[in-house]
Amino acid sequence: MQLREIAPEVYARDVLPLTAPLWAGRRSFDVYVEQTLETARSGYGRRHYRTIGLFDGATLLASFKRYERSVRDGEQQLHAIGFGAVYTPAEFRGRGYASVMLAAELDRARKAGYALAYLFSDIRPQFYTPFGFVELPSRDLTLRAGSLPAQRVRPAALAPGDWNGVRRCFTSCERARSYGFERSQSVWGWITMRIKHGSEHAAGHEFNLVVRRGRGVRAYVLGARVPGRDAYVVDEYGHAGEDSAALIPALLRAAAGDLRRIVGWLPPAGSRDLLPKGTTRKRKRSILMMVPLRSDGRRLVDRAVAERSGDFCWATEHI
């Protein structure tokens, strides 16, 4: 058995028909395939994304998506790999092939000098603990929209020309954090593409707002309105500086409109402080797990596990 890269077109032909019932969501199969291939062909995909399989000769036993990201820890930059869409065809389950595949990839990453690996587990997080993965705080926040101030703001729908301003707001907020995922230009391209796809929300519709100042962006919120849940689901928000931070609660209330609740992942430290207390509970899906592969990765993971004031990342980082 050996690990081999699977070409995007081959992955689309051989694997996506099997995984569509799990991960296509409300997308048609054709759209699911089209968007997966678009990811592989994007600037980020060509540099930092691969589809990998465990093969016995020509037989594919298991597969996963491999993502490369950088993580900032203070002034230090750590290289990480992310696992997504870990899958074993039904006829090969129960034989340990996924375990062999994960262990082999972690060994390759250690030898290549990566500091840590991460994934988001939807079911059975305990499956990953034998490989050294540990759960990080992964929590959901629920607020009454009416608990947010009805400050007058002039929100506008996020336009393509706003993304540079959104990026500057994100960078401004991240400076206040001691660690987090870094976003290069190619990562931003990947994130904006996924928002355009709308693949992260199983219901509702994308609803992203900004507050502009001249040609710049003072604050933004990314998320989706889900009338069936009577909620606005927040994926991320940011502001240009302390003078703009107070816009976030009012912008969220504007995004909620006539919906009664605002829900989403607990924002990272610092950004969490902009909102009222609300109700917090452990997330049942998309539980963030990490495994350190070097001593510097171990130090970061230990600190992140101990963090109680916010989650490690925004929902926009989900893979």
**Residue 200 is part of a domain; what is its CATH number?**
3.40.630.30
Looking at the structure, do residues 241 and 293 belong to the same domain, yes or no? no
Q: Rounded to an integer, what distance in angstroms lies between the CA atom of residue 254 and that of residue 145?
A: 9
Taking residues 55-73, report their average pLDDT: 98
Cβ neighbours, 10 Å, residue 289: 22
Helix (H, G, I), strand (E, B) or coil at 223: strand
Whether residue 42 sits in one domain with residue 171: no
**pLDDT tens digits, residue range 105-162?**
999 999 999 999 999 998 889 999 999 999 999 999 999 999 998 778 899 999 999 9
Domain check: are 161 and 43 in the same one?
no
| Claim to verify: residue 164 and residue 294 sit in the same structural domain | no
Q: Sorting pLDDT into bands at 50, 70 and 90, what band is 296?
A: very high
pLDDT given for residue 4 in this prediction: 98
220 and 271 in one domain? yes
Tell me: do 202 and 215 sit in the same domain: yes
Average pLDDT of span 184-209: 95
pLDDT of residue 215: 85
- Which residues are within 8 A (CB) of 132 and not within 5 positions of it... i.e. 6 or more apart? 106, 291, 292
170: containing domain: 139-282
**Alpha-carbon gap, residue 171 to 176, rounded angstroms:** 9
**Percentage, residues of the chain above pLDDT 90:** 93
Question: Would you place residue 48 in the very low, low, confident or very high pLDDT band (cuts 50, 70, 90)?
Answer: very high
Q: What is the pLDDT of residue 124?
A: 87
Do 255 and 172 fall within a single domain?
Answer: yes
Same-domain check for residues 70 and 22: yes
Please report the pLDDT score of residue 199 as a whole number: 87
Q: Is the domain of 249 the same as that of 297?
A: no
Per-residue model confidence (pLDDT) at position 303: 95
Average pLDDT, the chain: 96
147 and 255 in a common domain: yes
Torsion of CA 195, 183, 65, 293, to 10 degrees: -150
- The DSSP output letter for 184 is -
Instruction: Please tell me whether residues 189 and 271 are part of one structural domain.
Output: yes
* pLDDT at residue 151 in the model: 78
Q: Using pLDDT thresholds of 50, 70 and 90, give the confidence band for residue 40.
A: very high
pLDDT score recorded for residue 308: 85
pLDDT of residue 150: 79
Least confident of 20-34, 111-125, 145-159, 251-265: 145-159
Token pair for 275: 């909102």
Total of domains in the chain: 2
CB 231 within 8 A of CB 261: yes
Per the CB < 8 A criterion, the answer to whether 162 and 209 are in contact is: no
3-state DSSP call for residue 54?
strand
Percentage above 70 pLDDT, the chain: 100
